[in-house]
Amino acid sequence: MSDVIKDLSELRLTYQKGELHEEQVDAHPHEQFLNWFNLALEAKLHEPYAMSLATANAQGRPHVRTVLLRGATEAGYDFYTNYDSQKGLDLAENPFAELLFYWPELERQVRVSGQVEKISEQESTDYYHKRPRDSQIAAHISTPQSGVIANREQLQQRFQALYDQVAEKDQLVKPEFWGGYRLQPDYYEFWQGRPNRLHDRLTYEKVEGFWKLQRLMP
């Protein structure tokens, strides 16, 4: 058994790769997000479109997991999942959620909060058919998502059975229980790491239809 680290207090880094000033950011938070997101893409970071999605059920119990951003417009930020997953169950009870993008190589993170709704069936179907065929099959057999399964072999057997069954079909039908959600932002926070833990934090909050920019204490 490896030794357990008992004291983490000395493990720290100094952030010094950037600054964030009010006069340098875009007036619209989505445009500012795109500016940073495109820089993350250009830097060839590992999956810069990966994001933590935080939801909570009606009792307020939180759940967080990593999902992939699959659309980003002024209308909102899209991701796809099984409607019967924990994500789907939470959002059916409490439609508010938050996204977190963390790009450690750039010493940046972005939080995006708002209300979530299902996207149209047509949009979900169009995206489903853009996915690799194996991913389409996996969506069919991974139900109920997060449900208990006896072992890995049983999952692989279910996959292979459907794979063989649809081998001659040109196109699969999207499962009714699978589709997309769109988070419609009303709050953003842009965080840039700075030396001495004096980090830059700028927020945009939607107030009466307009975006209000503010700086927060680190």
Is residue 20 marked as binding? Answer: no
Is 15 labelled a binding residue?
yes
> Is 182 flagged in the annotation as binding?
no
User: Does 130 count as an annotated binding residue?
Assistant: no
133 known ligand binder: no
**Residue 175, SS3?**
coil
Residue 203 annotated as lining a ligand binding site? no
Annotation-wise, does 36 bind a ligand?
Answer: no
87 has binding-site annotation: yes
User: Any known ligand binding at 59?
Assistant: no
Distances in whole angstroms, Cα of residue 194 to Cα of each of 14, 15, 185, 189: 7, 5, 26, 15
Q: Is 65 among the annotated ligand-binding positions? A: yes
CB 29, CB 185: distance < 8 Å? yes
User: What would the two tokens of residue 130 be?
Assistant: 């853009």
Please check if 163 is assigned to a binding site: no
Instruction: Say whether 201 counts as a known binding-site residue.
Output: yes
131 is written with which tokens? 């996915």
CA dist., res. 33 & res. 112, Å (int): 10
Ligand-binding site membership of 211 (annotated): no
The reply to whether 109 sits in an annotated binding site is: yes
- 68 annotated to bind ligand: yes
H or E segment and range at residue 72: strand 71-73
Residue 172 DSSP one-character state: P
Residue 67 is assigned to a ligand binding site:
yes
Look-up of token digits 């047509």: 122
Is 212 known as a binding-site position?
no
The answer to whether 198 is a known ligand-binding residue is: yes
User: How far is the CA of 23 from the CAs of 30, 112, 163, in angstroms?
Assistant: 16, 21, 55
Binding residue ranges: 12-15, 65-70, 80-81, 87, 109, 127, 131, 135, 145-146, 191, 197-199, 201
Binding residue ranges for substrate: 12-15, 70, 127, 131, 135, 197-199
Binding residue ranges for FMN: 65-70, 80-81, 87, 109, 145-146, 191, 201
